Structure formats: structure tokens, C-alpha cells
Structure 1
Amino acid sequence: MDNLTLIAIASIFTAGICISIGSIGPALGEGKALAQALSSIAQQPDETNTITRTLFVGLAMVESTAIYCFVVSMILIFANPFWNYFLSRAGG
């Protein structure tokens, strides 16, 4: 196995791990936030608009973590800076 193949394997494996772990955490966090918001709305129905607005802002912030992991995974797969370096060293 040459160096380019090793870089490809490491990049694909790392991208898979990044997106899998990076999506599990936000999914659990969003589920817990939604459960707490529904519980809060059930206890204080008059504050539904405030709770909902705060929930959506919080969910957007939590979801940004998963989006960052997705972006890192796409960079590792499609725009990996090591590809060009090893291609130039290999003469390809």
C-alpha cells in the first residue's frame, strides 16, 4: 500500500467517525431540550411563546455543532490538503 492509499483510508475513516460522533451528541441534546421545553409548556402554558422562541434559538445553536462536523467531513473527503501534497510527491 502506498502513501496515497493510506491517506485516502485515513481520511475516509476519520470523516466517518467525525460525522457519526458529531451527530449523536447534538441529536441527544436536541431531544433533551425538546423534552424539557414540552414539560415547561405543560407547566406554564401562558409562557408558550417565550419558551418556544428560546427553544428554537437553542436548537439552532446545538445543530450548528453537527453542521460543523459535516463540513469537516466534507473537507476531509473532497478538499483534503494532503491529497495535492502526496500527488505532487508521487509525480502524479
Structure 2
Amino acid sequence: MNLKFVGAGISTISCAGSGIGQGFAAGKAVEAVARNPEVESKIRTQFIIGAAIAESGAIYGLVVSLILIFVA
């Protein structure tokens, strides 16, 4: 019965990984714009797409943890 909370805690680790990944990507995007300001729009577009993909993984982890807590 209480193992569902352990599983929910483990599934929320994806949120931490997503935050670390997005922070790393944002830092690299800033570095790229600092080196080559002419391609700022292309870098911004690629960063937003990458951040959305990383965030979707965190949302899936959140959904799994909520399902484990309230449904299972």
C-alpha cells in the first residue's frame, strides 16, 4: 500500500532531471548568442523546441506520480 508513494517519489525525479537539462540548454543558448548574435532567432527557436520536449518528460513523470498516488 505505501509502496505507491515510493513509486510516486521516484517518478518525480524526472522533474529534477528536466530542470537540470533546461538550465544547461539555456546556458548554452546564451553562450551561442553571445558568440554569434546574427543567428539569435534560429537559436531561440531551437531552444524553445528543446525546452518543450524536455518539459514534456517532466509532465509525464508528474502524471505518473499523480496516478500512482490517487488511482492505484
Q: Per-residue deviation at 1:40?
A: 0.3
* Alignment length (residue pairs): 72
Matching residue within 33, 45, 63 for 1:41 = 33
Q: Per-residue deviation at 1:63?
A: 0.7
Gap runs ≥5 in structure 1: 1-6, 81-92
Structure 1 partner of 2:20: 28
Matching residue within 31, 44, 51 for 1:59 = 51
Q: After the TM superposition, which parts of structure 1 deviate over 4 Å for at least 4 consecutive aligned residues?
A: none
Structure 2 partner of 1:16: 9
CA distance in 1, matches of 2:14, 2:45: 25
What one-letter code is carried by the residue in structure 2 that aligns with 1:28? I
Please give the root-mean-square deviation of Cα atoms over the aligned residues, in Å: 0.8
CA distance in 1, matches of 2:52, 2:25: 11
Matching residue within 48, 64, 69 for 1:72 = 64
Q: Give the greater-gyration-radius structure (CA).
A: 1
CA distance in 1, matches of 2:20, 2:48: 16
Structure-1-length-normalised TM-score: 0.75
User: SS of the residue aligned with 1:69?
Assistant: helix
